[in-house]
Amino acid sequence: MNLQGKHIVIGISGGIAAYKIPSLIRLCIKAGADVKVITTTNALNFVTPLTLETLSHNKVYSDVFAPVNDHSTEHISISQWADAMVVAPATANIIAKFANGIADDALSTQFLSCTAPIIIAPAMNTQMLHHPATQRNIALLANYNNIQIINTGRGELACGDVGDGRMAEPEEILTYIEQALTTQDLKDKRVMITAGPTRELIDPVRYISNFSTGKMGYALAMECAKRGAQVSLVSGPVSETINHPNINIINVVTAQEMYDATVREFDQCDLAILCAAVADFKVEKMSEHKIKCNRQDDNNLRLNLIANPDIAAELGRCKSKQTIIGFALETDNEQSNAIEKMQKKNFDYIVLNSLKNEGAGFGYDTNQITIFNRQGQNYNFPLKTKAEVAKDIIDTILKN
């Protein structure tokens, strides 16, 4: 996450989920943001001012008329300072105040004076959430251009019930903050991304695969989602996780499954990013039972391999309006091999990285890339985190 230099106001109302907000403050500061906290009086029953001030490094604003306020219009000055405001947890009561323009405490006055993006994370009992008045208030707020409502989760609630009403976790809220502060230059675009390895089964317990972790593809999916795109992430088996409302994960295992998924999704997408490390070959006939090794007979196992379907070539062949970005991981003749692959597969761009570059390739959190396009231009980048690399790739595509 990157919130370097951003000013974030976190508003806390009086719900039990307030105990999670210190974690959100820490995440925002770790991402580079400056944080100021505003609370209702009831919120301080769940989390102390000392905790909030220690973590945010700023005084907590909880009373419009407190004598310790810096000046009499603090609620206005804080809203002018903010790049984004988050209200979490947002109780049914504070949501009702927001929806009806009531400003009778520090948090509600801040809300009414804030023109920056506002993210609201509701948290309440299931019956309160589903009451028609609460649903009306949430729907009303969701219609405002600068407000985004985070859907509640389902699970065990503080009252002991199991149902809707759980506040989103701090990590998810952080994602919404970053998206709110990111230019939505992919809004209304559909992006398909392939990520990770594929596995080609030899028998029920063995397979052919590679060292891909999916880190680069997942970073690209998050970058596109933050910029407003609806993302279909076709993922091979990886340990990476991702959570964003704009991302639909399609899990596959084999190259054939990835082929079927990408062909199905391709017609609806505007941009396809082929980042997966797809196995070129599969076993001609998988054994239905575990293959036993009889070492006493000194027998060798021979596997007959056949080619998998060529996903990149098929998408390049049938593309119409789509832009396709391919990837090339090379060890020799890097540039010529990458350009040849781009032309042969009918890509619009190709991203080259080399296993010769330390910190690039499979398994690393960093990558070093060169981007080539069909007009003969190339763009070189130094070693960066894969999140930064994803931003460089999308920036380059959108500028050309």
Would you please indicate which residues are annotated as catalytic (active-site) residues? 159
DSSP element (H, E) containing 350: strand 349-354
Q: Are 212 and 276 in contact (CB under 8 A)?
A: yes
Q: Are 79 and 145 in contact (CB under 8 A)?
A: no
Q: How many CB atoms lie within 10 A of CB 125?
A: 18
What lies within 8 Å, CB to CB, of 238 at 6+ separation is 195, 196, 197, 212, 213, 214, 218
SS3 for 295-330 is: HHHCCCCCCCEEECCCHHHHHHHHCCCCEEEEEEEE
Phi, psi (rounded to 5 degrees) for 242: -155, 145
What lies within 8 Å, CB to CB, of 323 at 6+ separation is 270, 271, 272, 348, 349, 397
Q: Are 129 and 152 in contact (CB under 8 A)?
A: yes
Q: How far apart are CA 393 and CA 93, in angstroms?
A: 44
